[in-house]
Structure 1
Amino acid sequence: MDKEDARYQKLEQLHERRKQVVRLHRKGYGVMAIVELTGLSYPAVRRAIDLYEAGGAAALKPAARGRSPGQGRLLSAEQEELVRRTICDKRPEQLKMDFALWTRAAVMQLIEQLCGLKLSVRAVGNYLKRWGFTPQKPIKRAYEQRPEAVQQWLEHEYPAIEQRAKAEGAEIHWGDETALVNTDVRGRSFAPRGKTPVARAVGGTREKLSMISTVTNQGRANWMIIDGAFNHERLIEFFEALVRDGRRLGKKVFLILDNLGVHHCKPVKAWLAEHVADIEVFYLPSYSPELNPDERLNADLKHAIGTKVPARTRPKLRAAAEQHMQFIESNPQRVRAYFQDPIVRYAA
Structure 2
Amino acid sequence: MNAKDARKISAEALEDLRRRVVAAVDSGATQVEVSRVFGVARPTVNRWVRAFQDHGEESFRPRRRGRRAGMHRVLNAEVQTQITEHMTDCFPDAAGYSHPLWTRQAVGDLVERVHGVRLTLNTVSSYLRRWGLAQSELLPHATARDPRAVVRWRLCDQPVLARSAQVQDAAMYWLTWTNSRKVGVLSAFSSRRSMLFAVFSDPCSGQHVAEFLTRLADQSGRRLFVVIDSFEMEQAQSLRDWLDANQHRVSPFFPVPPAPELRIAGAFQG
Tell me which interval the TM-score lies in, with the shorter structure as reference length: 0.3 to 0.5
TM-score (norm 1): 0.31
With normalisation by structure 2, the TM-score equals 0.39
Give 1 or 2 for the bigger CA radius of gyration. Answer: 1
